[in-house]
Amino acid sequence: MSKDSLISTRGGAQVSIDDAILYGLAHDGGLYVPTSFPNIPVKDLYDIDHFPLFAEQVLAPFFEHSTIQINQDFCEQVFSFPLVLKYLDHQHYVLELFHGPTLSFKDFGARFFAKCLAELRQQKPIKVLVATSGDTGSAVASALSGTEGVEGYILFPQGKISQRQQAQITCWGGNVHAIAVHGTFDQCQQLVKKAFTEEQGDTLTTANSINIARLLPQVLFYAYSSIQIAKLRDSLVNYIVPSGNLGNVTACYWAKQLGFPIGDIKIATNKNAVLSDFLSSGIYQAQPSVKTLANAMDVGDPSNLERLRHLFTDFPAFKAQVNALSVDDEAIKAAIVDCYTRYRYLICPHTATAYHRLSEVETDQPWVMTATAHPTKFEEIIEPLLNIIIPVPPQLQILLKAKQKYHVIKPEITELMRIMRF
């Protein structure tokens, strides 16, 4: 690959991977994607079972000309917790991506991103700003905590996220600044956008899923698990991915593009049906997001749609390869109950959208549903439905006990800048 190996989805100038990570969003408003995918010798990877070693082989080619050294040491530090593949029955698998420090798949991307920033270290601290309505904030806060040369600012709407979510954002201190905003999530996002136009002289980047460094490690979910299953089954592996901003599922398409043994990909969304509406009408129309039980997928204008569309030449090609279904709250609840009754297996409300689609596939090929969060994070929804108590994993117990530290501000840019320019 050449040095400037990334291009904006809107066609702007090519940049290096290092710059793409530092900029986050391309200057033309697009998202960075590889100009072409590296040649990865997929068959040679069938014998590498150790996940960090596997990760090195898949990710290093993207960083050929980078100052970031993707070596075994880097990958052992970032991927210090497992990705777990289980099966429900002979054809149906679950890919559990929630064994990291904050119990969602976002830990993989957030930790990889944080370590990249640490290696890109500049003369002044790099400032990372992110608005969150839940899982992103906790994953990014945990990943940045203690990273030298990086200051993290995590904005969340005061009183509008769950107690457990708030505890996971506010327990860190040090270089992680939690900021409760008197306002809505949308106002938090507007503050982030304004900060980018105000801030001068410092390196400011964002940690949401538009950043290429959060997306690339997600390719590993599908690269690694497809090989593990293909080794046993000698067949292509099919996936159902619960989706909101479409970062996770874009990584699945990229893994397929790289040549991993992946067959069909299905997308499950919640009531926010912007993608299925687009597929049926051919006209893209962003929608205001609606609140659902699967709140980390409450997205009305998914940013990674640009990356997904970029993979295909035109709308008919896109429509032939992309299949989405919107699943409402009633169906989410029914899925949680059915999965527990049938398999004694607990799923979170996001994973439940994928489980709902598992019942439509009838084939002799393996199907995998991606489990994006640990059920314990959504105990308010699951416990009354099933009449059970979900045990709290030790990593969460520790965070819940820690003292909470956070600023409280009005949704005004001057208040945010006072904290960021301390």
The Cα 153–Cα 206 span in angstroms is: 10
372 binds ligand PLP (CB under 6 A): yes
Angstrom distances, CA of residue 308 to CA of 5, 210, 226: 18, 12, 20
Cα–Cα distance for residue pair 372/249, rounded to 1 Å? 11
**Could you give the C-alpha distances from 377 to 42, 120, 151, 317, 392, in angstroms and in order?**
35, 33, 26, 38, 9
Residue 104 is a binding residue for ligand PLP (CB under 6 A): yes
Distance CA 352, CA 85 (A): 17
Question: Any residues with CB less than 8 A from the CB of 397 and at least 6 apart, and which?
Answer: none
Is 271 a binding residue for ligand PLP by CB under 6 A? The answer is: no
- Is residue 208 a contact residue for ligand PLP (CB under 6 A)? no
CB-based contact 366:360 (threshold 8 Å): no
- Residue 345's identity, in one-letter code, is Y
> Could you tell me how many residues of this chain bind ligand PLP (CB under 6 A)?
16
Interface mask (CB under 6 A) for ligand PLP, residues 303-342, using x and -?
Answer: ----------------------------------------
- Which of 120, 297, 325, 352 binds ligand PLP (CB under 6 A)? It is 297
**Amino acid identity, position 96:** E
DSSP 346: -
- Is 256 an interacting residue with respect to ligand PLP (CB under 6 A)? no
Considering only 92, 106, 177, 266, the residue that binds ligand PLP (CB under 6 A) is 106
Element (H, E) at 333: helix 329-343
244: contact with ligand PLP by CB under 6 A: yes
Least separation in angstroms between residue 342's CB and ligand PLP is 22
Closest CA to 263 of 243, 305, 234: 234
Q: Is 353 in the site for ligand PLP (CB under 6 A)?
A: no
Rank residues 230 and 241 by Cβ distance to ligand PLP and give the closer one: 241
* Position 135 contacts ligand PLP (CB under 6 A): yes
Is the Cβ of residue 42 or residue 357 nearer to ligand PLP in the bound state? 357
Output the CA torsion sign for 186, 192, 193, 195: positive
| 228 belongs to the binding site for ligand PLP (CB under 6 A) | no
**126 or 169: whose CB is closer to ligand PLP?**
169
Q: Which is nearer to ligand PLP, 9 or 245 (CB)?
A: 245
Strand, helix or coil at 173? coil
CB of 135 to ligand PLP, least distance (A): 3
Kindly list the residues in this chain that would bind ligand PLP in the complex (CB under 6 A). 104, 106, 135, 209, 242-248, 296-297, 350, 372-373
